[in-house]
Amino acid sequence: MSRLTLHTLASAPEASQPFVERAIAANGFLPNLIGVLANAPVALETYLTVAGINARASLTLAEREVVQITAARIHGCDFCIAGHTAVALKKASISTDNVRALQHGTPLNDARLEALRRFAGAAIATRGKVDQQDYEAFTAAGYNQAQALEVLLGISLATLCNFANSLAGTPVNPELQPYLEGAI
């Protein structure tokens, strides 16, 4: 049971309704995260705006999903792990083995994505004070300075979602339950 109101399109504050409609159209259902964020129209707008900006980053969809699942795992957000696992498998073409590894925080069998996973984890653990060795491993994998900042952008997006879900106790939608850790 959610601690915060889990809005529907009908119950959402008027200022949130256009964003809720957009989420339903994009997903085919109303993700419970959107229903929670609808309590604060500015929070919902921020989430959707930053998600749109993040989607324009030079990081590929697969790379952005590595960041999102890594952050969700570290922050303990089952909802976001499930949601981003669905995207990783269905749209980003990340292998099932690598998605399982992301869910468990274990090494990936793709060296470039592994360098990204490690860098994102280090950035979260150190609040951005990544040591030189971790930064050099990231750049040695072919990433650049702009992409280091794009990782932080992805982490900022994840932090809003992960913390909102933790505060609310957001239940995982039935559509996303097959993507929970241990289900794939």
**Spatial CA neighbour of 17 closest among 48, 51, 52:** 48
What is the DSSP-derived secondary structure letter of residue 177? G
Is the confidence at residue 2, as pLDDT, over 90? Answer: no
- Confidence band for 143, pLDDT divided at 50, 70 and 90: very high
Distance between CA atoms of residues 148 and 143, nearest Å: 7
Q: Which CATH number fits domain 59-168: 1.20.1290.10, 1.20.1050.10, 1.10.357.10, 1.25.40.10?
A: 1.20.1290.10
- 29-64 confidence digits (pLDDT tens): 999 999 999 999 999 999 999 999 999 999 999 999
* Interval 158-165 mean pLDDT: 98
Q: Which residue has the tokens 């259902």?
A: 29
CA angle centred on 58, ends 80 and 155, rounded to 5°: 35
Work out the number of other CB atoms within 10 angstroms of the CB of residue 75: 18
> What local confidence, expressed as pLDDT, does residue 40 receive?
98
> What local confidence, expressed as pLDDT, does residue 108 receive?
98
Q: Would you kindly state where each structural domain of the chain is located, as residue ranges?
A: 59-168
Tokens of 15: 């200022």
Work out the number of other CB atoms within 10 angstroms of the CB of residue 76: 11
DSSP helix/strand/coil, 26 = helix
Instruction: Look at the pTM and tell me if it is higher than 0.85.
Output: yes
Q: What residue ranges in the chain does DSSP mark as E strands?
A: none
Is the confidence at residue 1, as pLDDT, over 90? Answer: no
Work out the number of other CB atoms within 10 angstroms of the CB of residue 183: 11
- Confidence band for 8, pLDDT divided at 50, 70 and 90: very high
* Four-point Cα dihedral 157, 161, 167, 170, nearest 10: 180
Tokens of 177: 């339950």
Tokens of 118: 């490690």
> What local confidence, expressed as pLDDT, does residue 76 receive?
97
Amino acid at 19: F
- 11-33 confidence digits (pLDDT tens): 999 999 999 999 999 999 999 99
> What local confidence, expressed as pLDDT, does residue 139 receive?
98
- 64-120 confidence digits (pLDDT tens): 999 999 999 999 999 999 999 999 999 999 999 999 999 999 999 999 999 999 999
**Spatial CA neighbour of 80 closest among 182, 183, 184, 171:** 171
Residue environment code for 139-148, b if the CB has 16+ CB neighbours within 10 A, otherwise e: eebebeeebb
